[in-house]
Structure 1
Amino acid sequence: MSSVSAPRPVRRALRPAPDWSGRVVLYHNVVAPYRHALFQELARRMALDVWFSVRTTRDRKWSTRVPAGYDHRFLDGWSVYGFNRPLIFCPGLIRDLRRARPQAVIAVLTRSNAVDVLRICRWGRRAGVPVVLWIGAVEPDPAFTTDVPRALDRLFERYYRKAIREATGYVYYSELSRRWAERRGARGPGTSGTQVLPPAPVPPRLEAHHGRDDLVMLYVGKLEHRKGVDLLIRAAADLEPEVRRRLLVRIAGEGPMAAMLPELTEAGIRYEFLGHTDRDELWKVYRDADLTVLASRHDPWANILNESMSMGTPVLISRQAGGAELGGRAGWVCDLRDPASLPRELARALAECRDSGRRRDAVRAEREYRPDTSADRIATLMRQLVDGPAVPERLLSRTG
């Protein structure tokens, strides 16, 4: 069991007054670098205070430094591991909400903090404070593809459903997340807010790589079953011999399925295993690729989608991954329910990716998911809920 020390004073960031004075608490499970830019933009649009349950959990390997630009604090959270998954609980959470008296709350719903999120929703219903859930889960629910006992899965499913039904509004990572939540009772106003990233330190490449013979295909992420690494390797091995001769696969990441990479060599395909790659170097890797592939069996939203498209590199993404609606606007979408779909779309993508128009389309489409545009959508939803009826009567009358 690991814990975080007692609550620390709120860190007050030096920033201009927000566009709207609504006081909003954003409850987040851990410090996440891919969210900082969005939180900073939200703080320009509302009186935002971000509450982190804990600083990190042992499965997170990124920086836990919180930059300036938004107010934040750490709660008296405890993280307990069971079946290699973190469970987070903050005993004083409701006490702190009563003291803070926010006009609205945004709560990020994950498996690790589902109990606390349900507590927030029920407090909001009693206090007449709108609670908006930030939801990234997709079908099939990852809980049902782990070694967690089925009885525990069913318990968490009940927490999900109760929290979703008692919330006032929703922020969805993707269209898949919206469908997941609606199947569990989500009814109410919602908007989109993804894993947005700050602008890259290098400019995108808008012109295709016409001067080289190699076709550079990129995979970034954990080398694990959920990410479909095995499916991608088999699809590459099914390509026509001439395409395999020209293909160079670059893999940036680590994981148990790294042992499968020699199968590419057996299929006559060259590959470069980059392992863990520093962020500054990774932007250049994206920029140099012709195509990035994300063949996940399920994925709430992969940061590589934004990262690759922001560098001008189009993406082949599975329909089972959140963000297919974005990736498909300048790339290709496969459906893993059809075994022939990934090999077919991979061959098509490699034949069409040397297109400067696609690179420019990728950059334009990704800009709609930048921190400022996502913050505009979320701030509009929060203002609507706070300045309108605080909580619909149908929610106040629920007994849970």
Structure 2
Amino acid sequence: MNILFISNVHPTPVRPSQGTFNAELVRALTASGHAVRTIVPVPWHQRLLAWKAHRNAPDIWYPAFWYPPGVFRASYHHWMRWSIRRAASQASAGGWADAVIAFWIHPDGRFAAELARALHIPVIVIAGGSDLLVVTADPRRAREVGRTLAMADAVLAEGRHLVDRAVALGARASTTHVFRRGVDGSRFSPGSQLAARQALGLSADDQVVLWAGNMVAIKGVDLLVRAHAQLAEPRPLLALIGDGPERRSLELLTADLGTGGRVRFIGRLPHDQLVIWYRAADLFALPSLSEGTPNVLQEASACGLPFVAADVGAVSELATAADRVVSSRDPAEFGAAIADVLATAGERHGKEAVPRPWTAAIEQIERILAETGRVDGHATT
């Protein structure tokens, strides 16, 4: 089947760590025998700063997404249509596409639904989480999200709570499904903690708490920093992988708390380099205010690493007996859960978590597309 994938949440030449889970999805589709072309709308200000770097490559387009920053968000699908229609025309020329898949409901999913309707092919829209739970706080944006959900042939959401939210906003219950992404077990698997620490220059005697993601307010990293400050001496090393607008305030917070010497800001890393950190750590912490089904927890678990996480999204569905799910936003309680897991850190490799393979995720997508009336890229009659 020929599939056109559309999402602004995807790695770009200048932001290679952005949306790696979508790049993994595209790779998995390709590995399953599908031909995939990808359109990644790049915010215009990023495109202007690195115009030459965003050259189109075979089967991938990086059109500039022109929009008024911070205002008229409910109309962003109009701006996206104007911005990327040429790329979409090129990618689907000659009736190439059999189906469209989009990640992020609005505006990406809306444009994808309109395009699929014009091409008379099915469209699957994948929800990210915040596009259902956060952006819909604006009533006008919520209406456009609802219209998009109603237009889609199928909606995939990473957790039952997101499925329920999508249906409440306008998606059809019969075509809205819980979707679990896969994990590449050939890369994310248990390994020697000592070897990983030697490779990273970490002490074999330290306990290490790991976090990875975008340093934005909704990720709640300040809660983790405050919880870390309440842990008893010798305090574990807190390794923070990622970057974002909250980084400077987090650095200042560690200084105010007097824990700067035990907190390392690693910065952004390529996705492939996360596995060595998963193997080196004793615990993964996820203090987010909102999530779907966090990929980092699935990857950490695949490496045998237990987690302590806020009780958001589908986190509780991923937890095993080795993990802790915390409903409170109190740093003391989050810290107590961390201390509890660290107390049995020597048993961490006993954690058994069987990650969902990508083949299972792709088979689900194939079944859903078949149910829309297209099988193996040909319309049924």
TM-score by length of 2: 0.72
Separation in 2, partners of 1:229, 1:214:
21
Q: Which amino acid aligns with 1:245?
A: P
Q: Match for residue 83 of structure 1?
A: 70
- The SS at the match of 2:305 is coil
Cα separation, 1, equivalents of 2:298 and 2:143: 32
One-letter amino acid of the structure 2 residue matched with residue 166 of structure 1 = M
Cα distance 1:47–1:65, how it changes in 2: closer, same or farther (>3 A)?
same
Stretches of structure 1 lacking an aligned partner (at least 5 in a row) = 1-21, 145-149, 391-400
Taking a change above 3 Å as real, the CA distance of residues 107 and 157 of structure 1, as seen in their structure-2 partners, is same
- Asked if 1:183 corresponds to 2:172, the answer is no
> Conserved in 2, the CA contact under 8 Å of 1:25 and 1:104?
yes
Give the % identical residues. 21
Give a deviation string over 1:90-131, Cα, whole Å, max 9, x none: 33578676852644332223444254145246547xx4x432
- 2:334 is aligned to 342
> C-alpha separation between the residues in 1 aligned to 2:180 and 2:46?
24
Letter matched to residue 379 of structure 1: E
**Match for residue 106 of structure 1?**
101
Alignment of 1:52 onto 2:52: no
Aligned equivalent of 2:252: 259
1:308 aligns with 2:300: yes
Q: Which has the higher helix share?
A: 2
1:82 CA drift (Å): 0.7
How far the C-alpha of 1:81 sits from its partner, in A, is 5.0
Go from structure 1 to structure 2 and tell me whether the alpha carbon gap of 1:253 and 1:385 turns closer, same or farther (over 3 Å shift): same
Is contact 2:190–2:349 with CA below 8 Å preserved after alignment? no
Are the counterparts in 2 of residues 291 and 350 from structure 1 also a CA contact under 8 Å? Answer: yes
Partner residue of 1:377?
Answer: 364
Extract unaligned runs of 5+ from structure 2. Answer: 12-19, 198-202
Q: Residues 139 and 170 (structure 1 numbering): CA distance in 2 closer, same or farther, change over 3 Å?
A: closer
Q: Tell me how far 1:160 sits from its aligned partner.
A: 0.8
How far apart, CA to CA, are the structure 1 residues paired with 2:9 and 2:213?
A: 20
Instruction: State the alpha-carbon separation in 2 of the partners of residues 247 and 114 from structure 1.
Output: 42
1:245 to 217, 234, 241: 234
After superposition, what is the alpha-carbon deviation per residue over 1:153-183, rounded to whole angstroms, capped at 9, x for unaligned? 3322111101112222122233343233122
Q: Deviations over 1:174-224 (max 9, x none)?
A: 3343233122122223241437557438853489x9x96532211223333
- C-alpha displacement of 1:357: 5.1
Query: SS where residue 80 of structure 1 aligns?
Result: coil
Task: Kindly indicate whether the alpha-carbon contact (under 8 Å) linking 1:34 and 1:196 is maintained by their aligned counterparts in 2.
Answer: no
CA distance in 1, matches of 2:36, 2:208: 43
- Structure 1 residues 206 and 192: CA distance shift in structure 2, 3 A: farther
For residues 341 and 55 of structure 2, what CA distance do their matches in structure 1 show?
Answer: 39
Q: In structure 1, what is the Cα distance between the partners aligned to 2:280 and 2:67?
A: 42
Q: Which amino acid aligns with 1:247?
A: P
Structure 1 position 29 matched with structure 2 position 8 = yes
In the alignment, residue 325 of structure 1 is paired with which amino acid? E
Contact 1:51 / 1:72 at 8 angstroms: preserved in 2?
A: yes
Tell me the residue number matched to 2:318: 326
Q: Given that residues 26 and 51 in structure 1 are in contact (C-alpha distance below 8 angstroms), is that contact kept between their aligned partners in structure 2?
A: yes
Could you tell me how far apart the structure 2 residues matched to 1:57 and 1:30 are? 14
- 1:161 matched residue in structure 2: 146
Closer/same/farther in 2, CA of residues 352 and 338 from structure 1, 3 Å limit: same
Residue in 2 aligned with 1:5? none
Kept after mapping to 1: 8 A contact 2:193/2:280: no
Aligned length: 345
